[in-house]
């Protein structure tokens, strides 16, 4: 027996099998059960979302002798006729190859004949937007007032190309892109029935690449299974077949850009080049990853916008804490410009490497955008508490000595790892709190200034007073305990307290520096060691 492609084998046979289009299924089944079937339907949507399958199921259901909740029974003579031999009452027409006036005239001549079996003669015209202007005009009258036994179902991926006179004569149904979670669930079910072992990461990746199309997902899966016949399907194998890059690489690249780690960026380019990945597609995917970071960073409920699993969104949220919106926008703009350049120039790898080096070294970019990015980087550094800006020296007077500038540098390596986790996951901490406390925490930031203390720096005294209350401190402590499985020493301060602590540490550092200078001077004059405590 000849092999049947997966997307054909698992084509829905009833509305219950149709995934991701519940709003359409409910309407059509209600029409069938209440016998309120109209004469013309227009099914719109991107490829692989179920338009043709819906048309066939609907055609079978309205001709079924005993429909079950709006679905065909698959047992009556009409259903058997459609499934086994292909009924003469359901006529499928490809408008891409039958788009002339003569083809429509043939339909007009045929509609007067009653169906041989069943109640309706159904014309399914696929890619109807491909009909010529003359063909559309020839169809108008028949479409508006067909015989009672005739129903037209028009399907298209480009409804904007259909004349308004045709649109107004049809009931329109817009098919959504199928979500990643829905595609993933369907693929898992199919693979269990096919007795094929596939890694969950591989299924998630295929669902993502399918871009809302169930047919594309099944075709990609079929291709991967055929390439590794008899073997388990893993994410690495899927990436090899598609010539694609793992999504983790984009997170690594964006982190390397933020850390200004040029070597890490070059290593990633070397890796994807040696794997034979497409450079232009890699740039497009990187821009898409940055866009997702921007959405997660800017929107309170990104899961309503991003078609991603909750685990993927959580990873994005964790990474986005390190970024400012301005930085992400700068990266998107620069890489989008690079994408346009590469289309018309050779040397894709060199152009990508040069752009990444420029992003890692903003001093190389002397444009206004580059200057703004450097300023943003400095602001972000200050906000994280890595460095406080150097104050401008005041004019020296005869009565006053010049003031020392304040430049507080925190040794990141000295910050305990568990406190680093709190800092990096601060947005998640905020999300787990509620009501007024959440509002004050949103405008605050955590930092480690001394010892093993998590300092929460508020932007106002009101925020400090609110968060310092025993009840609210308990809430924060509870969230940190839940997220990191550890009890932290927490102190809430405001900007004034922060400045005092940093000034005090600055003075301490200066005193130690002076003491060491004295030590060096004494040591140079006498021959014994002095231990400073």
339-363 residue pLDDT tens: 888 877 778 889 999 999 988 887 6
The greatest distance separating any two alpha carbons of the chain, rounded to the nearest whole angstrom, comes to: 119
Given a cut of 80, whether residue 386 has pLDDT beyond it is no
- Kindly state the tokens that stand for 60: 């079978």
- Identify the band that residue 214 occupies on the pLDDT scale cut at 50, 70 and 90: very high
pLDDT at 393: 42
Given a cut of 90, whether residue 401 has pLDDT beyond it is no
CA distances to 7, 10, 227, 312, 315 from 200, rounded to whole Å, are: 20, 20, 18, 13, 17
Smallest CA-to-CA distance from 70 within 40, 26, 39 is with 26
Given a cut of 60, whether residue 398 has pLDDT beyond it is no
Mean pLDDT of the chain: 81
d(CA 161, CA 15): 28
pLDDT at 89: 84
- Kindly state the tokens that stand for 245: 């890059």
Average pLDDT estimate for 361-388: 60
pLDDT at 402: 35
pLDDT at 269: 92
Under 8 Å between Cβ of 501 and 493? yes
d(CA 443, CA 448): 17
Helix 470-484, helix 461-468: angle, nearest 10 = 80
CATH 3.40.50.1820 assigned to domain 417-500? The reply is no
> Sign of torsion, CA 297 299 305 307?
positive
As beta bridge partners, residue 201 has none
d(CA 200, CA 190): 13
pLDDT digits (tens, 9 = 90+) for 412-447: 556 788 887 887 788 888 888 876 788 788 778 788
Under 8 Å between Cβ of 480 and 426? no
Give this prediction's pTM. Answer: 0.60
d(CA 47, CA 52): 10
pLDDT at 236: 82
pLDDT at 522: 52
Domain covering 6-174 in this structure, CATH number:
3.40.50.300
CA distances to 316, 421, 423 from 417, rounded to whole Å, are: 21, 6, 10
Residue 77 phi/psi, 5-degree rounding, is: -55, -40
6 CB-contact burial (10 Å; exposed 0-12 / middle 13-18 / buried 19+): buried
Helix 247-258, helix 262-274: angle, nearest 10 = 160
- Identify the band that residue 367 occupies on the pLDDT scale cut at 50, 70 and 90: low
Lowest mean pLDDT among 141-145, 197-201, 333-337, 388-392: 388-392
Given a cut of 60, whether residue 178 has pLDDT beyond it is yes
Under 8 Å between Cβ of 193 and 323? no
Domain covering 180-242 in this structure, CATH number:
1.10.8.60
Under 8 Å between Cβ of 356 and 364? no
pLDDT digits (tens, 9 = 90+) for 18-46: 988 999 999 999 999 998 999 999 999 99
Smallest CA-to-CA distance from 215 within 351, 40, 47 is with 47
Residue 20 backbone zone (phi > 0: left; psi -120 to 50: alpha; other: beta): left
Q: Which fold has domain 247-380?
A: Zinc Finger, Delta Prime; domain 3 (1.20.272)
Q: Would you list the domain boundaries of the chain? A: 6-174, 180-242, 247-380, 417-500
């Amino acid at each position: 027996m000849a092999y049947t492609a997966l997307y054909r084998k698992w084509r829905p046979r009833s509305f219950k099998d149709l995934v991701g289009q519940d709003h359409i299924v409910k309407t059509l089944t209600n029409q069938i059960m209440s016998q309120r079937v109209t004469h013309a339907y227009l099914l719109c949507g991107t490829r692989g979302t179920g338009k043709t399958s819906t048309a066939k199921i609907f055609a079978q259901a309205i001709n079924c002798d005993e429909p079950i909740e709006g679905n065909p029974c698959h047992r009556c003579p009409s259903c058997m006729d459609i499934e086994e031999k292909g009924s003469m009452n359901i006529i499928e027409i490809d408008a891409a190859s039958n788009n002339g006036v003569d083809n429509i005239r043939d339909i007009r001549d045929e509609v007067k004949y009653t169906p041989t079996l069943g109640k309706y003669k159904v014309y399914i015209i696929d890619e109807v937007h491909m009909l010529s202007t003359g063909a559309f005009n020839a169809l108008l009258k028949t479409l508006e007032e067909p015989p009672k036994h005739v129903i037209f179902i028009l399907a298209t991926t480009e409804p904007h190309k259909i004349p308004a006179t045709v649109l107004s004569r049809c009931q329109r149904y817009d098919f959504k892109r199928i979500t990643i979670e829905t595609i993933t669930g369907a693929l898992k079910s199919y693979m269990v029935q096919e007795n094929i072992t596939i890694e969950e990461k591989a299924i998630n990746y295929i669902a993502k690449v399918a871009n809302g199309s169930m047919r594309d997902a099944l075709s990609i899966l079929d291709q991967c299974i055929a390439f590794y016949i008899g073997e388990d399907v893993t994410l690495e194998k899927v990436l090899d077949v598609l010539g694609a890059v793992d999504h983790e690489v984009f997170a690594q690249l964006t982190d390397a850009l933020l850390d200004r780690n040029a070597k890490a960026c070059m290593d990633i380019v070397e890796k994807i080049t040696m794997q034979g990945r497409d450079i232009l597609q890699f740039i497009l995917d990187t821009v898409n990853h940055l866009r997702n970071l921007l959405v997660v960073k800017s929107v309170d409920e990104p899961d309503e916008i991003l078609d991603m699993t909750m685990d993927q969104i959580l990873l994005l949220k964790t990474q986005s804490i390190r970024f400012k919106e301005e930085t992400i926008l700068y990266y998107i703009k620069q890489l989008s410009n690079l994408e346009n350049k590469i289309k018309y120039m050779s040397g894709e790898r060199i152009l990508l490497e040069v752009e990444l080096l420029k992003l890692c070294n903003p001093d190389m970019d002397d444009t206004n955008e580059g200057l703004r990015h450097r300023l943003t980087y400095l602001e972000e550094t200050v906000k994280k508490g890595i460095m406080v800006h150097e104050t401008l020296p005041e004019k020296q007077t005869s009565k006053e000595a010049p003031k020392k500038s304040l430049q507080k540098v925190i040794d990141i390596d000295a910050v305990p790892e568990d406190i680093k986790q709190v800092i990096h996951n601060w947005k998640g901490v905020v999300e787990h709190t509620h009501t007024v406390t959440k509002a004050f925490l949103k405008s605050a930031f955590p930092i480690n200034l001394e010892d093993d203390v998590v300092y929460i720096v508020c932007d106002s005294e009101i925020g400090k007073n609110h968060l310092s209350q025993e009840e609210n401190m308990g809430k924060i402590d509870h969230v940190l305990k839940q997220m990191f499985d550890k009890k932290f020493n927490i102190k809430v301060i405001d900007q004034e307290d922060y400045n005092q602590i940093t000034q005090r540490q600055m003075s301490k550092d200066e005193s130690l520096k002076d003491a060491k200078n004295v030590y060096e001077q004494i040591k140079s004059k006498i021959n014994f060691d002095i231990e400073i405590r």
